[in-house]
Chains A and B, each alone.
Chain A
Amino acid sequence: MRDFLRRLLLNKWSKVVIFLVALSPLACLGWRAYHGELTANPVEFIQHFTGDWTLRFLLITLSITPLRKLLDLSDLIRFRRMLGLFAFFYVCLHFLTYIGPDQAFDLGGMWKDVAKRPFITVGFLGFLLLIPLALTSTRGWIRRLGGKRWQALHRLVYVSALCGVVHFYWLVKSDHRLPLLYGAILAVLLLYRLGNSLLKPRRAVVVSPAQ
Protein backbone atom coordinates (compact mmCIF):
# COMPACT_ATOMS: atom_id res chain seq x y z
CA MET A 1 0.00 0.00 0.00
CA ARG A 2 2.73 2.40 0.98
CA ASP A 3 4.74 1.50 -2.08
CA PHE A 4 1.72 2.14 -4.23
CA LEU A 5 1.19 5.54 -2.61
CA ARG A 6 4.85 6.38 -3.02
CA ARG A 7 4.77 5.49 -6.68
CA LEU A 8 1.68 7.60 -7.06
CA LEU A 9 3.33 10.55 -5.34
CA LEU A 10 6.47 10.25 -7.44
CA ASN A 11 4.59 9.90 -10.70
CA LYS A 12 5.50 12.72 -13.06
CA TRP A 13 1.83 13.61 -13.54
CA SER A 14 1.02 13.83 -9.85
CA LYS A 15 2.00 17.50 -9.61
CA VAL A 16 -0.10 18.37 -12.61
CA VAL A 17 -3.08 16.60 -11.07
CA ILE A 18 -2.65 18.37 -7.72
CA PHE A 19 -2.23 21.67 -9.54
CA LEU A 20 -5.51 21.20 -11.37
CA VAL A 21 -7.31 20.06 -8.24
CA ALA A 22 -6.02 23.11 -6.38
CA LEU A 23 -7.30 25.28 -9.20
CA SER A 24 -10.77 23.69 -9.15
CA PRO A 25 -12.22 26.08 -6.52
CA LEU A 26 -11.45 28.94 -8.89
CA ALA A 27 -13.08 27.01 -11.72
CA CYS A 28 -16.10 26.47 -9.49
CA LEU A 29 -16.25 30.20 -8.80
CA GLY A 30 -16.07 30.91 -12.52
CA TRP A 31 -18.83 28.40 -13.19
CA ARG A 32 -21.07 29.97 -10.59
CA ALA A 33 -20.36 33.45 -11.91
CA TYR A 34 -21.21 32.35 -15.45
CA HIS A 35 -24.51 30.88 -14.26
CA GLY A 36 -25.34 33.87 -12.09
CA GLU A 37 -25.10 31.87 -8.88
CA LEU A 38 -23.00 34.22 -6.81
CA THR A 39 -26.00 35.13 -4.58
CA ALA A 40 -27.56 38.57 -4.25
CA ASN A 41 -24.25 39.87 -2.92
CA PRO A 42 -21.57 38.57 -5.31
CA VAL A 43 -18.75 40.65 -3.82
CA GLU A 44 -19.35 39.22 -0.38
CA PHE A 45 -19.70 35.73 -1.83
CA ILE A 46 -16.34 35.97 -3.61
CA GLN A 47 -14.72 37.44 -0.49
CA HIS A 48 -15.97 34.60 1.68
CA PHE A 49 -15.19 31.97 -0.93
CA THR A 50 -11.58 33.08 -1.51
CA GLY A 51 -11.06 33.60 2.23
CA ASP A 52 -12.32 30.12 2.95
CA TRP A 53 -10.01 28.57 0.39
CA THR A 54 -7.02 30.55 1.65
CA LEU A 55 -7.55 29.05 5.11
CA ARG A 56 -8.13 25.59 3.71
CA PHE A 57 -4.92 25.69 1.66
CA LEU A 58 -2.96 26.99 4.64
CA LEU A 59 -4.24 24.10 6.74
CA ILE A 60 -3.55 21.58 3.98
CA THR A 61 -0.01 22.95 3.59
CA LEU A 62 0.55 22.76 7.34
CA SER A 63 -0.64 19.17 7.43
CA ILE A 64 2.05 18.02 5.00
CA THR A 65 4.79 17.72 7.63
CA PRO A 66 2.70 15.74 10.17
CA LEU A 67 1.37 13.51 7.40
CA ARG A 68 4.87 12.83 6.08
CA LYS A 69 5.92 11.58 9.48
CA LEU A 70 2.74 9.81 10.52
CA LEU A 71 2.30 8.03 7.20
CA ASP A 72 6.03 7.66 6.61
CA LEU A 73 5.55 9.29 3.21
CA SER A 74 8.38 11.79 2.95
CA ASP A 75 7.66 12.28 -0.75
CA LEU A 76 4.65 14.38 0.17
CA ILE A 77 7.14 17.23 0.43
CA ARG A 78 7.00 17.48 -3.37
CA PHE A 79 3.66 19.26 -3.09
CA ARG A 80 4.18 21.51 -0.11
CA ARG A 81 5.48 24.55 -1.95
CA MET A 82 2.76 24.38 -4.59
CA LEU A 83 0.02 24.07 -1.97
CA GLY A 84 1.47 26.97 0.01
CA LEU A 85 1.61 29.06 -3.14
CA PHE A 86 -2.03 28.24 -3.80
CA ALA A 87 -2.88 29.59 -0.34
CA PHE A 88 -1.05 32.75 -1.39
CA PHE A 89 -2.89 32.79 -4.72
CA TYR A 90 -6.30 32.64 -3.03
CA VAL A 91 -5.36 35.25 -0.43
CA CYS A 92 -4.31 37.58 -3.26
CA LEU A 93 -7.74 37.17 -4.86
CA HIS A 94 -9.28 37.73 -1.43
CA PHE A 95 -7.26 40.91 -0.94
CA LEU A 96 -8.13 42.16 -4.44
CA THR A 97 -11.86 41.86 -3.74
CA TYR A 98 -11.24 43.93 -0.62
CA ILE A 99 -9.22 46.82 -2.07
CA GLY A 100 -11.30 46.82 -5.27
CA PRO A 101 -15.04 46.64 -4.56
CA ASP A 102 -14.79 47.50 -0.86
CA GLN A 103 -12.22 50.29 -0.90
CA ALA A 104 -12.48 51.38 -4.56
CA PHE A 105 -8.63 51.22 -4.70
CA ASP A 106 -8.43 54.14 -2.29
CA LEU A 107 -5.21 53.22 -0.50
CA GLY A 108 -5.57 56.00 2.07
CA GLY A 109 -9.01 54.77 3.03
CA MET A 110 -7.79 51.21 3.06
CA TRP A 111 -4.95 52.10 5.39
CA LYS A 112 -7.36 53.77 7.82
CA ASP A 113 -9.58 50.70 7.71
CA VAL A 114 -6.64 48.38 8.37
CA ALA A 115 -5.47 50.49 11.31
CA LYS A 116 -8.91 50.86 12.87
CA ARG A 117 -10.58 47.47 12.50
CA PRO A 118 -9.01 44.67 14.48
CA PHE A 119 -10.46 41.97 12.24
CA ILE A 120 -9.07 43.69 9.15
CA THR A 121 -5.76 44.44 10.88
CA VAL A 122 -5.24 40.83 11.76
CA GLY A 123 -6.33 39.61 8.32
CA PHE A 124 -4.04 42.11 6.62
CA LEU A 125 -1.16 40.99 8.84
CA GLY A 126 -1.78 37.38 7.87
CA PHE A 127 -1.65 38.43 4.22
CA LEU A 128 1.54 40.49 4.64
CA LEU A 129 3.31 37.61 6.38
CA LEU A 130 2.67 35.34 3.42
CA ILE A 131 4.34 37.70 0.94
CA PRO A 132 7.99 37.05 1.97
CA LEU A 133 7.20 33.35 2.17
CA ALA A 134 5.84 33.29 -1.37
CA LEU A 135 8.84 35.31 -2.62
CA THR A 136 11.41 33.02 -0.97
CA SER A 137 9.69 29.79 -1.87
CA THR A 138 12.17 28.92 -4.63
CA ARG A 139 15.19 26.62 -4.40
CA GLY A 140 17.43 29.58 -5.09
CA TRP A 141 16.20 31.36 -2.00
CA ILE A 142 16.63 28.30 0.19
CA ARG A 143 20.25 28.19 -0.96
CA ARG A 144 20.79 31.89 -0.49
CA LEU A 145 19.30 31.99 3.00
CA GLY A 146 20.64 28.65 4.11
CA GLY A 147 18.35 25.87 5.30
CA LYS A 148 18.14 26.91 8.95
CA ARG A 149 17.40 30.56 8.33
CA TRP A 150 14.96 29.73 5.54
CA GLN A 151 13.13 27.36 7.84
CA ALA A 152 12.99 29.93 10.63
CA LEU A 153 11.56 32.50 8.20
CA HIS A 154 8.96 30.09 6.95
CA ARG A 155 7.70 29.39 10.44
CA LEU A 156 5.90 32.71 9.95
CA VAL A 157 3.25 30.63 8.24
CA TYR A 158 2.10 29.52 11.70
CA VAL A 159 1.46 33.12 12.66
CA SER A 160 -0.21 33.82 9.33
CA ALA A 161 -2.60 30.89 9.69
CA LEU A 162 -3.41 31.96 13.24
CA CYS A 163 -4.14 35.48 11.94
CA GLY A 164 -6.43 33.95 9.32
CA VAL A 165 -8.44 32.00 11.87
CA VAL A 166 -8.77 34.99 14.23
CA HIS A 167 -9.75 37.19 11.25
CA PHE A 168 -12.53 34.72 10.41
CA TYR A 169 -13.65 34.34 14.03
CA TRP A 170 -13.91 38.10 14.54
CA LEU A 171 -15.84 38.54 11.33
CA VAL A 172 -18.59 36.06 12.18
CA LYS A 173 -21.58 37.44 14.08
CA SER A 174 -22.76 34.60 16.29
CA ASP A 175 -22.48 31.20 14.62
CA HIS A 176 -18.80 30.40 15.29
CA ARG A 177 -18.82 26.74 14.29
CA LEU A 178 -16.76 27.08 11.13
CA PRO A 179 -14.01 29.39 12.46
CA LEU A 180 -13.77 27.18 15.54
CA LEU A 181 -13.39 24.11 13.34
CA TYR A 182 -10.55 25.77 11.43
CA GLY A 183 -9.06 26.86 14.75
CA ALA A 184 -9.24 23.33 16.13
CA ILE A 185 -7.52 21.86 13.07
CA LEU A 186 -4.83 24.52 13.25
CA ALA A 187 -4.35 23.83 16.97
CA VAL A 188 -3.83 20.13 16.31
CA LEU A 189 -1.32 20.87 13.54
CA LEU A 190 0.64 23.33 15.70
CA LEU A 191 0.49 21.21 18.85
CA TYR A 192 1.91 18.31 16.87
CA ARG A 193 4.92 20.45 16.02
CA LEU A 194 5.22 21.74 19.57
CA GLY A 195 5.12 18.18 20.88
CA ASN A 196 7.81 17.16 18.43
CA SER A 197 10.13 19.99 19.33
CA LEU A 198 9.61 19.44 23.05
CA LEU A 199 10.32 15.74 22.75
CA LYS A 200 13.56 16.21 20.87
CA PRO A 201 15.58 18.18 23.45
CA ARG A 202 14.23 15.97 26.24
CA ARG A 203 15.70 12.99 24.47
CA ALA A 204 18.99 14.83 24.32
CA VAL A 205 18.86 15.49 28.06
CA VAL A 206 18.15 11.85 28.79
CA VAL A 207 20.91 10.70 26.49
CA SER A 208 23.69 12.98 27.66
CA PRO A 209 24.09 11.87 31.30
CA ALA A 210 24.29 8.29 30.15
CA GLN A 211 27.25 9.00 27.91
Chain B
Amino acid sequence: MRMFGNLTESDITPKSVYFNRRQILCAMGLAGAGIAGGKVFSHLAFPPVAVQAGTKLDVALKSPFSTSEKMNSFDDVTHYNNFYEFGTSKDDPSKNAQKFRTSPWTVSIEGEVKKPAKYSMDDILKLAPLEERIYRHRCVEGWSIVVPWIGYSLNTILKLAEPTEKAKFVAFQSYYDPGQMPWAGHAGIELPYVEGLRLDEAMHPLTLLCVGMYGESLPNQDGAPVRLVIPWKYGFKSIKSIVKIRFVKSIPPTTWNIYAPTEYGFYSNVNPNVDHPRWSQATERRLGEILRRKTLMFNGYSDQVGALYNGMDLKKNY
Protein backbone atom coordinates (compact mmCIF):
# COMPACT_ATOMS: atom_id res chain seq x y z
CA MET B 1 0.00 0.00 0.00
CA ARG B 2 2.78 2.33 0.93
CA MET B 3 4.13 2.14 -2.58
CA PHE B 4 0.96 3.69 -3.94
CA GLY B 5 0.25 5.98 -1.03
CA ASN B 6 3.50 7.85 -1.25
CA LEU B 7 3.89 8.34 -4.95
CA THR B 8 6.24 11.15 -5.70
CA GLU B 9 6.81 13.02 -8.88
CA SER B 10 9.92 11.02 -9.52
CA ASP B 11 7.96 7.80 -9.16
CA ILE B 12 5.69 8.91 -11.95
CA THR B 13 8.50 9.77 -14.30
CA PRO B 14 11.60 7.94 -13.17
CA LYS B 15 14.74 9.53 -14.45
CA SER B 16 15.82 6.37 -16.24
CA VAL B 17 12.51 6.19 -18.09
CA TYR B 18 12.77 9.84 -18.94
CA PHE B 19 16.22 9.34 -20.32
CA ASN B 20 15.12 6.28 -22.24
CA ARG B 21 12.28 8.20 -23.80
CA ARG B 22 14.61 10.93 -24.73
CA GLN B 23 16.99 8.45 -26.25
CA ILE B 24 14.20 6.82 -28.21
CA LEU B 25 12.93 10.15 -29.43
CA CYS B 26 16.44 11.12 -30.39
CA ALA B 27 16.96 7.86 -32.20
CA MET B 28 13.82 8.42 -34.19
CA GLY B 29 15.15 11.75 -35.30
CA LEU B 30 11.71 13.21 -34.68
CA ALA B 31 10.38 13.23 -38.19
CA GLY B 32 13.39 14.80 -39.74
CA ALA B 33 13.71 17.61 -37.26
CA GLY B 34 17.23 16.49 -36.64
CA ILE B 35 18.83 15.29 -33.46
CA ALA B 36 19.38 18.77 -32.06
CA GLY B 37 15.76 19.69 -32.59
CA GLY B 38 14.71 16.38 -31.13
CA LYS B 39 16.61 17.07 -27.98
CA VAL B 40 14.96 20.44 -27.56
CA PHE B 41 11.56 18.95 -28.22
CA SER B 42 12.00 16.06 -25.83
CA HIS B 43 13.27 18.44 -23.22
CA LEU B 44 10.09 20.46 -23.54
CA ALA B 45 7.88 17.40 -23.65
CA PHE B 46 9.54 15.68 -20.71
CA PRO B 47 11.17 18.32 -18.58
CA PRO B 48 13.64 16.94 -16.06
CA VAL B 49 12.34 16.87 -12.48
CA ALA B 50 15.22 19.08 -11.52
CA VAL B 51 18.86 19.61 -12.21
CA GLN B 52 20.11 16.57 -10.41
CA ALA B 53 23.09 14.28 -10.18
CA GLY B 54 25.48 14.61 -13.07
CA THR B 55 25.25 18.39 -13.55
CA LYS B 56 28.63 19.90 -14.39
CA LEU B 57 29.96 22.18 -11.68
CA ASP B 58 32.27 25.16 -12.10
CA VAL B 59 35.29 24.41 -10.00
CA ALA B 60 37.15 27.62 -9.32
CA LEU B 61 40.02 26.34 -7.19
CA LYS B 62 42.30 23.39 -6.79
CA SER B 63 42.88 22.79 -3.12
CA PRO B 64 46.33 22.58 -1.53
CA PHE B 65 44.83 19.84 0.67
CA SER B 66 44.63 17.51 -2.32
CA THR B 67 46.67 14.35 -2.44
CA SER B 68 48.58 13.45 -5.58
CA GLU B 69 47.71 9.79 -5.16
CA LYS B 70 46.01 7.98 -8.00
CA MET B 71 42.28 8.60 -7.95
CA ASN B 72 39.74 5.82 -8.08
CA SER B 73 37.52 5.59 -11.10
CA PHE B 74 34.13 7.30 -11.11
CA ASP B 75 32.68 3.85 -11.71
CA ASP B 76 34.22 2.46 -8.51
CA VAL B 77 33.04 5.38 -6.41
CA THR B 78 29.49 5.20 -7.77
CA HIS B 79 28.99 1.42 -7.60
CA TYR B 80 30.49 0.55 -4.24
CA ASN B 81 28.52 2.49 -1.65
CA ASN B 82 27.41 2.24 1.94
CA PHE B 83 24.12 4.11 2.01
CA TYR B 84 21.85 1.89 4.12
CA GLU B 85 18.73 3.92 3.36
CA PHE B 86 19.00 2.43 -0.15
CA GLY B 87 20.00 -1.13 0.80
CA THR B 88 22.81 -2.80 2.70
CA SER B 89 24.76 -4.33 -0.21
CA LYS B 90 27.50 -2.27 -1.79
CA ASP B 91 25.76 -2.31 -5.17
CA ASP B 92 22.27 -1.53 -3.81
CA PRO B 93 22.51 2.28 -3.62
CA SER B 94 23.60 2.61 -7.26
CA LYS B 95 20.44 0.75 -8.25
CA ASN B 96 17.97 1.96 -5.63
CA ALA B 97 18.87 5.63 -5.28
CA GLN B 98 18.28 6.59 -8.91
CA LYS B 99 14.78 7.90 -8.28
CA PHE B 100 15.69 9.72 -5.09
CA ARG B 101 14.34 13.26 -5.39
CA THR B 102 16.91 15.81 -4.28
CA SER B 103 15.13 18.94 -5.43
CA PRO B 104 13.76 21.05 -3.90
CA TRP B 105 16.21 20.68 -1.03
CA THR B 106 16.59 22.68 2.14
CA VAL B 107 19.36 22.59 4.70
CA SER B 108 18.42 24.16 7.97
CA ILE B 109 21.03 25.55 10.36
CA GLU B 110 19.78 25.97 13.88
CA GLY B 111 20.39 25.46 17.59
CA GLU B 112 22.87 27.53 19.57
CA VAL B 113 23.29 30.22 16.93
CA LYS B 114 22.50 33.89 16.59
CA LYS B 115 21.38 33.55 12.99
CA PRO B 116 19.51 30.36 12.23
CA ALA B 117 18.93 29.97 8.51
CA LYS B 118 17.50 27.76 5.83
CA TYR B 119 19.47 27.29 2.64
CA SER B 120 18.32 26.00 -0.72
CA MET B 121 20.83 24.09 -2.86
CA ASP B 122 21.15 27.15 -5.07
CA ASP B 123 22.15 29.19 -2.01
CA ILE B 124 24.68 26.56 -0.99
CA LEU B 125 26.21 26.37 -4.45
CA LYS B 126 26.64 30.15 -4.58
CA LEU B 127 27.86 30.70 -1.04
CA ALA B 128 31.55 30.30 -1.86
CA PRO B 129 33.75 29.36 -4.80
CA LEU B 130 33.80 25.62 -5.29
CA GLU B 131 37.08 23.82 -4.75
CA GLU B 132 38.19 20.42 -5.88
CA ARG B 133 39.77 18.43 -3.07
CA ILE B 134 41.27 15.05 -3.73
CA TYR B 135 41.01 13.22 -0.44
CA ARG B 136 41.76 9.75 0.81
CA HIS B 137 38.57 8.20 2.15
CA ARG B 138 38.87 5.26 4.57
CA CYS B 139 35.89 3.11 5.51
CA VAL B 140 35.68 1.50 8.94
CA GLU B 141 35.25 -1.82 7.09
CA GLY B 142 38.85 -1.71 5.89
CA TRP B 143 38.68 -0.39 2.34
CA SER B 144 39.68 2.99 0.99
CA ILE B 145 39.32 5.19 -2.07
CA VAL B 146 40.77 8.43 -3.41
CA VAL B 147 38.08 10.82 -4.61
CA PRO B 148 38.12 14.31 -6.18
CA TRP B 149 35.35 15.87 -4.11
CA ILE B 150 33.92 19.32 -4.82
CA GLY B 151 32.75 21.79 -2.22
CA TYR B 152 34.17 24.22 0.31
CA SER B 153 35.10 24.12 3.98
CA LEU B 154 32.11 23.52 6.20
CA ASN B 155 33.18 26.44 8.39
CA THR B 156 32.21 28.83 5.57
CA ILE B 157 28.54 28.16 6.17
CA LEU B 158 28.84 27.52 9.91
CA LYS B 159 30.38 30.93 10.57
CA LEU B 160 27.44 32.67 8.92
CA ALA B 161 25.17 31.27 11.61
CA GLU B 162 27.27 32.91 14.34
CA PRO B 163 27.32 30.13 16.91
CA THR B 164 26.85 31.26 20.51
CA GLU B 165 29.20 30.59 23.42
CA LYS B 166 27.12 27.57 24.34
CA ALA B 167 27.75 25.77 21.07
CA LYS B 168 30.28 22.99 21.69
CA PHE B 169 29.25 20.35 19.17
CA VAL B 170 27.55 20.24 15.80
CA ALA B 171 24.88 17.63 15.05
CA PHE B 172 23.96 16.61 11.51
CA GLN B 173 20.92 14.82 10.20
CA SER B 174 20.29 13.07 6.90
CA TYR B 175 17.12 13.17 4.90
CA TYR B 176 14.86 10.22 5.64
CA ASP B 177 11.68 9.23 3.86
CA PRO B 178 10.60 5.59 4.12
CA GLY B 179 8.44 6.13 1.03
CA GLN B 180 11.48 6.90 -1.12
CA MET B 181 13.70 4.54 0.89
CA PRO B 182 11.72 1.34 1.45
CA TRP B 183 14.99 -0.61 1.83
CA ALA B 184 15.75 1.31 5.02
CA GLY B 185 13.52 -1.07 6.97
CA HIS B 186 16.25 -3.71 6.71
CA ALA B 187 19.14 -1.39 7.48
CA GLY B 188 19.25 -2.52 11.10
CA ILE B 189 20.24 0.98 12.19
CA GLU B 190 18.00 3.70 13.58
CA LEU B 191 17.06 6.33 11.00
CA PRO B 192 17.19 9.19 10.17
CA TYR B 193 20.93 8.92 10.11
CA VAL B 194 22.58 11.32 12.53
CA GLU B 195 26.19 12.30 12.98
CA GLY B 196 28.15 14.79 15.02
CA LEU B 197 31.45 16.61 15.36
CA ARG B 198 33.11 18.59 18.07
CA LEU B 199 32.92 22.30 17.19
CA ASP B 200 36.65 22.54 16.45
CA GLU B 201 36.45 19.49 14.20
CA ALA B 202 33.49 20.97 12.33
CA MET B 203 35.33 24.29 11.94
CA HIS B 204 38.54 22.66 10.74
CA PRO B 205 39.32 23.69 7.16
CA LEU B 206 39.75 20.05 6.07
CA THR B 207 36.11 19.34 6.89
CA LEU B 208 34.39 19.68 3.55
CA LEU B 209 30.81 20.57 2.78
CA CYS B 210 30.62 18.54 -0.38
CA VAL B 211 28.26 19.10 -3.31
CA GLY B 212 29.99 17.17 -6.05
CA MET B 213 32.75 14.92 -7.28
CA TYR B 214 34.61 14.27 -10.54
CA GLY B 215 33.56 17.68 -11.84
CA GLU B 216 29.83 17.01 -11.39
CA SER B 217 27.15 17.36 -8.76
CA LEU B 218 26.96 14.38 -6.40
CA PRO B 219 25.34 11.20 -7.72
CA ASN B 220 22.40 10.18 -5.54
CA GLN B 221 24.14 7.08 -4.22
CA ASP B 222 27.10 9.17 -3.05
CA GLY B 223 25.00 11.41 -0.82
CA ALA B 224 23.32 13.93 -3.10
CA PRO B 225 22.79 16.79 -3.02
CA VAL B 226 25.06 17.77 -0.12
CA ARG B 227 27.17 15.78 2.32
CA LEU B 228 30.16 16.05 4.58
CA VAL B 229 33.60 14.69 3.85
CA ILE B 230 35.88 14.42 6.88
CA PRO B 231 38.97 12.74 5.50
CA TRP B 232 40.67 11.86 8.79
CA LYS B 233 37.67 9.98 10.16
CA TYR B 234 36.08 6.69 9.13
CA GLY B 235 33.69 7.12 6.25
CA PHE B 236 30.48 6.75 8.24
CA LYS B 237 31.19 10.10 9.92
CA SER B 238 30.91 11.77 6.49
CA ILE B 239 27.12 11.99 6.61
CA LYS B 240 25.19 12.04 3.34
CA SER B 241 22.15 13.96 2.07
CA ILE B 242 22.16 16.50 4.89
CA VAL B 243 18.96 18.37 5.81
CA LYS B 244 19.79 19.67 9.27
CA ILE B 245 22.82 21.14 10.98
CA ARG B 246 22.33 21.92 14.64
CA PHE B 247 24.74 23.55 17.08
CA VAL B 248 24.42 21.91 20.49
CA LYS B 249 25.87 22.10 24.00
CA SER B 250 26.72 18.47 24.59
CA ILE B 251 27.89 15.47 22.62
CA PRO B 252 25.14 14.54 20.14
CA PRO B 253 23.97 10.97 19.46
CA THR B 254 25.45 9.37 16.33
CA THR B 255 23.87 6.53 14.38
CA TRP B 256 26.53 3.81 14.46
CA ASN B 257 27.41 4.61 18.03
CA ILE B 258 23.76 4.09 19.00
CA TYR B 259 23.79 0.78 17.16
CA ALA B 260 26.99 -0.61 18.68
CA PRO B 261 28.71 1.73 21.17
CA THR B 262 31.67 -0.60 21.73
CA GLU B 263 32.39 -0.80 18.00
CA TYR B 264 31.86 2.74 16.74
CA GLY B 265 32.90 5.67 18.90
CA PHE B 266 31.91 9.31 18.61
CA TYR B 267 35.34 10.34 17.35
CA SER B 268 36.05 7.45 14.98
CA ASN B 269 39.32 8.92 13.83
CA VAL B 270 41.20 6.67 11.43
CA ASN B 271 43.72 4.99 13.69
CA PRO B 272 45.77 1.92 12.74
CA ASN B 273 46.62 1.32 16.41
CA VAL B 274 43.07 1.00 17.68
CA ASP B 275 41.31 -2.00 16.24
CA HIS B 276 37.65 -2.42 15.69
CA PRO B 277 36.64 -5.17 18.15
CA ARG B 278 35.98 -7.56 15.29
CA TRP B 279 38.75 -6.71 12.86
CA SER B 280 42.12 -5.02 12.60
CA GLN B 281 42.37 -1.41 11.45
CA ALA B 282 46.11 -1.67 10.81
CA THR B 283 45.67 -2.22 7.08
CA GLU B 284 43.20 -1.39 4.35
CA ARG B 285 42.46 -2.38 0.79
CA ARG B 286 42.53 0.48 -1.67
CA LEU B 287 39.85 -0.33 -4.22
CA GLY B 288 41.59 -1.45 -7.38
CA GLU B 289 44.43 -3.11 -5.50
CA ILE B 290 44.78 -6.74 -4.47
CA LEU B 291 47.12 -6.60 -1.48
CA ARG B 292 46.31 -4.55 1.59
CA ARG B 293 48.32 -1.43 2.43
CA LYS B 294 49.17 0.07 5.80
CA THR B 295 46.60 2.43 7.24
CA LEU B 296 48.00 5.83 8.20
CA MET B 297 47.32 7.66 11.46
CA PHE B 298 44.43 10.08 10.91
CA ASN B 299 44.34 8.62 7.39
CA GLY B 300 47.52 10.56 6.61
CA TYR B 301 46.20 13.94 7.82
CA SER B 302 48.13 14.00 11.13
CA ASP B 303 49.94 17.23 10.28
CA GLN B 304 46.67 19.06 9.82
CA VAL B 305 44.48 17.57 12.54
CA GLY B 306 46.77 15.87 15.06
CA ALA B 307 46.75 18.94 17.29
CA LEU B 308 42.98 18.69 17.75
CA TYR B 309 43.53 15.63 19.89
CA ASN B 310 46.59 16.62 21.91
CA GLY B 311 46.49 15.02 25.34
CA MET B 312 43.53 12.81 24.49
CA ASP B 313 43.65 9.07 25.02
CA LEU B 314 42.67 7.89 21.55
CA LYS B 315 42.24 4.31 22.75
CA LYS B 316 39.47 5.48 25.08
CA ASN B 317 38.10 8.11 22.73
CA TYR B 318 37.93 5.81 19.73
Chain A residues close to B by CB (< 8 Å): 39-44, 101-102, 104, 113, 116-120, 170-171, 173-177
Once bound together, how far apart are the Cα atoms of A116 and B275, in whole Å? Answer: 10
Known: A39-B79, A102-B292, A104-B292. A176 touches B278 (CB 8 A): no
Is there an interface contact between B278 and A44, defined as CB atoms closer than 8 Å?
no
Known: A119-B278, A177-B186. A41 touches B143 (CB 8 A): yes
Which of the 9-residue segments B22-30, B84-92, B99-107 touches chain A? Answer: B84-92
Is there an interface contact between B76 and A175, defined as CB atoms closer than 8 Å?
no
Determine whether B4 belongs to the interface, using a CB cutoff of 8 Å to chain A: no
9 further A-B pairs in the complex, CB-CB below 8 A; given A44-B285, A104-B291: A39-B80, A40-B75, A40-B90, A43-B285, A101-B290, A117-B280, A170-B278, A174-B189, A175-B84
In whole Å, how far is A41's beta carbon from the nearest beta carbon of chain B? Answer: 6
Bitwise interface map of B from 285 to 300 toward A, beta carbon under 8 Å scored 1, else 0: 1011011100000000
In whole Å, how far is B137's beta carbon from the nearest beta carbon of chain A? Answer: 13
Q: List 23 A-B contacts (CB under 8 A).
A: A39-B91, A40-B75, A40-B77, A41-B90, A41-B143, A43-B285, A101-B291, A102-B292, A104-B291, A104-B292, A113-B280, A116-B275, A116-B280, A117-B280, A119-B278, A170-B278, A171-B278, A173-B188, A174-B88, A174-B188, A174-B259, A175-B84, A177-B186
For chain B, the count of residues having a C-beta within 8 Å of the partner chain is 27
Determine whether B11 belongs to the interface, using a CB cutoff of 8 Å to chain A: no
Known: A101-B290, A174-B84. A117 touches B278 (CB 8 A): yes
In whole Å, how far is A95's beta carbon from the nearest beta carbon of chain B? Answer: 16
Known: A40-B75, A44-B143, A118-B278. A174 touches B187 (CB 8 A): yes
Known: A40-B288, A101-B290. A175 touches B80 (CB 8 A): no
Bitwise interface map of B from 243 to 279 toward A, beta carbon under 8 Å scored 1, else 0: 0000000000000000100000000000000010011
Determine whether B141 belongs to the interface, using a CB cutoff of 8 Å to chain A: yes
Known: A113-B280, A175-B186. A41 touches B291 (CB 8 A): no
Query: Number of residue pairs across A and B with beta carbons under 8 Å?
Result: 58
Q: Which 3 A-B pairs have the closest CB atoms?
A: A174-B188, A40-B80, A175-B88
- The residues of B that contact A119 with a CB separation of less than 8 Å are 278-279
Please tell me which one of the listed residues A39, A104, A118 contacts residue B90 in the complex, with CB atoms under 8 A apart. Answer: A39
Once bound together, how far apart are the Cα atoms of A39 and B285, in whole Å? Answer: 14
Known: A117-B278, A174-B189. A41 touches B285 (CB 8 A): yes
Once bound together, how far apart are the Cα atoms of A118 and B143, in whole Å? Answer: 20
- The residues of A that contact B75 with a CB separation of less than 8 Å are 40
- The residues of A that contact B84 with a CB separation of less than 8 Å are 174-175
Task: Give residues 195-245 of B contacting A (CB, 8 Å).
Answer: none
In whole Å, how far is A114's beta carbon from the nearest beta carbon of chain B? Answer: 12
Is there an interface contact between B141 and A40, defined as CB atoms closer than 8 Å?
no
In whole Å, how far is B46's beta carbon from the nearest beta carbon of chain A? Answer: 32
Is there an interface contact between B280 and A41, defined as CB atoms closer than 8 Å?
no
- The residues of B that contact A171 with a CB separation of less than 8 Å are 278
Is there an interface contact between B187 and A175, defined as CB atoms closer than 8 Å?
yes
- The residues of B that contact A40 with a CB separation of less than 8 Å are 72, 75-77, 79-80, 90, 287-288
